[in-house]
């Protein structure tokens, strides 16, 4: 199901993650090299706020206990197996820059 986000692509700042709430979910969203990626915003370990983590390339590091996720896939790094992986969402960008994700 496609759900429209309350922000547009023009609201995003390159490599600056943010959280939006939509459809009862907390969604982590970030733009890297003009591409927009989204996944669950709450870390699968103990719910850390991933939008406050450090971004290194395509990897976001949870600010609480350091689990590392690839924002493109939601997969956790083998070096931080205490994270279980995040649900990634496919992002669509409309003609006017409106953003939607598929749950």
Binding residue for ligand FES, selected from 12, 22, 39, 62, defined by CB under 6 A: 62
Determine phi and psi for 50, rounding to 5 degrees.
-65, -25
Of the candidate spans 7-15, 26-34, 42-50, 94-102, the one that interacts with ligand FES by CB under 6 A turns out to be: 42-50
Question: Quick check: 31 binds ligand FES (CB under 6 A)?
Answer: no
Question: Which residues here bind ligand FES, judged by CB under 6 A?
Answer: 43, 45-48, 62, 64-67, 83
């Amino acid at each position: 199901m496609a759900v429209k986000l309350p922000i547009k692509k023009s609201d995003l700042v390159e490599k600056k993650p943010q959280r939006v709430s939509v459809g009862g979910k907390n969604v982590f969203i970030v733009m890297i090299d003009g591409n927009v990626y989204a996944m669950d915003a709450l870390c699968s370990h103990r719910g850390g706020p991933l939008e406050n983590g450090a971004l290194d390339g395509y990897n976001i590091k949870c600010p609480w206990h350091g689990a590392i996720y690839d924002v493109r896939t939601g997969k956790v790094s083998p070096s931080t197996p205490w994270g279980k992986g995040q649900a990634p969402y496919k992002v669509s960008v409309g003609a006017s820059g409106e953003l939607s994700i598929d749950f």
